[in-house]
Amino acid sequence: MENQGYEGKKHQPARALFDLIGIGLVIGILTIIHYTNYHYEVDYHILLQFAYYLPVIYAAMRFGSVGGIISSFLITILFVPLMLHFQKDLTAAAKYTQWVEVGLINVFGWLTGFLTEEERKAKNKYRLALKVQQDLVEQLKQEEQERQRLEAEIRQTERIAALGHLSAGLAHEIRNPLGIMKVSIQMLAQEKQGDEVVAEYCQVLREECERLNRMVSEFLSFARPKELVRKRILLGKLVEESLALIQPALGKNHIQLEQILDSGLDQEVEVDPDQIKQVILNILLNAVDAQEQGGVIELEEIEEEGFIGFAVSDEGTGISPEDMPFIYDPFFTTKEKGTGLGLSVVHRILDQHGGKIRTFNRPDRGVTVKILLPKVPVKDK
């Protein structure tokens, strides 16, 4: 016997077999009692007949209307011969009552099974509705988190744009007097060629002017981003070329680069190669700076729906929770000699490409930075 409408699930075979055997034994025992004690009075058998309701009710509750109908029908087949045997000893009312009782067992089996199935269907609908509600709540939570993330990115982009305009103005104002200072230092060094003290000071001044000039160039690069020159190229090729440039820094700091790469980086991306290489170098150099001497930097390919990229993980001290919200802000840095424009430029470049950057502390130590770029649609390849 099987309840075909109960929650769309099949009963476990072992449990179902055990219940079937139990129901069959009870019906069999009751029938044997009837037939082995037929010489007792009719009232004894009528009273014992009520015991048949127990296996019928259990069969109906366990296997639904199918269980109730089959068990009551089986009882009818087994009990009717004995009932016919007693017909001559019964009054008309007793005969009628006994046939009604047999009918009631069948009706009761079907009705109990039907009501049980309806109850289980109602429970199943309730569980389904509850699951849909829980899924909807979870979806709303995810949408809220995504909305907050997008709002944070919009605020970040607005801050970068505003500070970029400010940087452009400051860079122009600084570059003009800086050029005059550089020329004046060169002229002074030429006039005082024989004075070692003056030559030493002029050398220091020239170096500082060069450092300021590089910083101004970074400001202008940040404030006035170059127009993208997109081309299709293998992401793996960009990574490989960038790794070749980073090798001296790795060797100098005795850092081992562990690459966990498969075939994912063999996919094409449509990007400005120079700017994406700048992104890769920036992230790798940050990892080297964070790690200082020794250890391992992991480079791992990653993939999300519609995006391909890589993750760089270092073994440094990590980023404090207080600093994490500001790491992409221009001029924010925890380095002694940093300008605070590295991650800001990376964020801007990826934003121009429709990419993503995610930075988070690792569970044990260090930081992981994920860089994601849009895949080239298959139809466009």
Each residue's pLDDT tens digit, 220-235: 666 666 778 889 988 8
Q: Which of 204, 303, 208, 226 is nearest to 271 (CA)?
A: 226
Select the more confidently predicted residue: 35 or 240: 240
Residue 45 C-beta-side C-alpha neighbours within 13 Å: 28
Q: What is the pLDDT of residue 6?
A: 43
| Mean pLDDT along residues 325-346 | 74
| Mean pLDDT along residues 195-216 | 81
The one-character DSSP state at 11 is P
The one-character DSSP state at 189 is H
Q: What is the pLDDT of residue 10?
A: 47
Q: What is the pLDDT of residue 228?
A: 81
Flag whether pLDDT at 4 surpasses 60.
no
Confidence bin at 313 (pLDDT 50/70/90): very high
The one-character DSSP state at 265 is G
Q: What is the pLDDT of residue 3?
A: 47
| Mean pLDDT along residues 330-344 | 71
Contacts of residues 102-105 at CB distance under 8 Å and 24 or more positions apart, as own/partner, are 102/76, 105/52, 105/53, 105/56, 105/72, 105/75, 105/76
Q: What is the pLDDT of residues 129-187, one digit of tens each?
A: 889 998 899 988 888 888 887 787 777 667 666 666 666 666 667 777 877 888 888 88
Q: Write down the pTM of the prediction.
A: 0.50
Confidence bin at 74 (pLDDT 50/70/90): confident
Q: What is the pLDDT of residues 345-377, one digit of tens each?
A: 888 889 889 899 999 998 888 899 999 999 887
Q: Which of 17-31, 50-64, 160-174, 282-296 has the lowest mean pLDDT?
A: 160-174
Q: Which of 1-5, 42-46, 139-143 has the lowest mean pLDDT?
A: 1-5
* CATH H-level, domain 231-380: superfamily: Histidine kinase-like ATPase, C-terminal domain (3.30.565.10)
Q: What is the pLDDT of residue 7?
A: 44
The token duo for 336 is: 């002694």
Confidence bin at 59 (pLDDT 50/70/90): confident
Flag whether pLDDT at 262 surpasses 70.
no
Q: Which of 12-16, 110-114, 211-215, 260-264 has the highest mean pLDDT?
A: 110-114
- The answer to whether the CB of 376 falls within 8 A of the CB of 270 is yes
DSSP-derived pairing of the beta strands 296-304 and 256-260: parallel
Q: What are phi and psi of 268, to 5 degrees?
A: -85, 150
- List the domain boundaries for the chain: 13-136, 154-223, 231-380
Q: Over pLDDT 70: what percentage of the chain?
A: 79
| Mean pLDDT along residues 283-294 | 86
- The answer to whether the CB of 160 falls within 8 A of the CB of 344 is yes
- The answer to whether the CB of 374 falls within 8 A of the CB of 268 is no
Residues 6+ apart with CB under 8 A from 278: 345, 346, 349
Flag whether pLDDT at 30 surpasses 60.
yes
Select the more confidently predicted residue: 30 or 46: 30
DSSP H stretches of helix in 253-307: 273-291
